[in-house]
Amino acid sequence: MAKTAIVTGASAGIGEATCLALVEKGFTVYAVARRADRMAHLADKGIVPISADVTDDASMVALVDRVVAETGRIDVLVNNAGYGSYGALEEVPMAEARRQVEVNVFGLARLTQLVLPHMRQQRSGRIINVSSVGGQIWEPLGAWYHATKFAVEGLSDSLRAELRPHGVDVVVIQPGAIRTEWAGISADNLIAASSIPAYQEQVRIGAAVLKRADEIKAASPPSTVARTIAKAATARRPRTRYATGGGARSVLFFNKVLTDRGWDRMVALAYRSQARG
């Protein structure tokens, strides 16, 4: 019997590439995103596209009910849906802050809640949470985004411990710089949402840094992360964390060996370099 996987945020980038990587591994794959029309091409590969929103509880319940009704099981959940909301904390509206947390944390947690009864009954399953190097590092203007990714890391660690007796693994994926539309959209939204003059120079540089993440030589295609996720999904004993693509391992190494003040200085130097460039 083929194993079943659900992948959120599947309409582009890492999510789309992950669906393709998992179907190649023999999984029955359900691709989930708000816009089903952007996933129509995946059906040609044998992937099942489903329109659903991780912030809409009814659509999440319907998704899980459908997968179980059609396949009888859920073996892998890839929580990939998310976005980056940047801006000075002083001027980010609390409504936007709540939406960032709702999508990146609560949506992930709620879908996990819904699949866990089935995984516990099977006494097997794998929850794969796509975090970021941003779950362990920080940068100016990214307070809410980094807060959500730090939360995903802590949530995943606690979840891993509580699910171990039930045969369910929890894995964190930490992508670095990946060539997707994510960084460009985040940069454009940062500029559009910023109006306080005191932050304008930081905003200009921050937007340039975000856009450059897609262009640097070290940036990786989404397929790099997708291969890592497929490895985590099929490994007999997966690692708890996989840093992958776009200089992720180097970034996390420097963050580990530097003090907090040392990291602050390194980020400040990178911003000054971008300002001169």
Q: Is-catalytic flag, 45?
A: no
Q: What is the rounded (10 degree) CA torsion for 187, 135, 171, 27?
A: 0
| Cα distance between residue 121 and residue 234, in whole Å | 20
| Cα distance between residue 58 and residue 177, in whole Å | 34
Q: Is-catalytic flag, 149?
A: yes
Q: Which of 11, 30, 85, 149 is catalytic?
A: 149
Q: Which of 145, 150, 152 is nearest to 92 (CA)?
A: 145
Q: Which of 86, 145, 242, 271 is catalytic?
A: 145
**Do 79 and 7 contact (CB within 8 A), yes or no?**
no
Q: Which of 30, 85, 86, 131 is catalytic?
A: 131
Q: Is-catalytic flag, 25?
A: no
Is the CA virtual torsion 274, 177, 85, 266 positive or negative?
A: negative
Q: Mutual orientation of helices 222-234 and 13-24 as an angle, nearest 10°?
A: 40
| Cα distance between residue 105 and residue 25, in whole Å | 28
Catalytic residue numbers?
Answer: 131, 145, 149
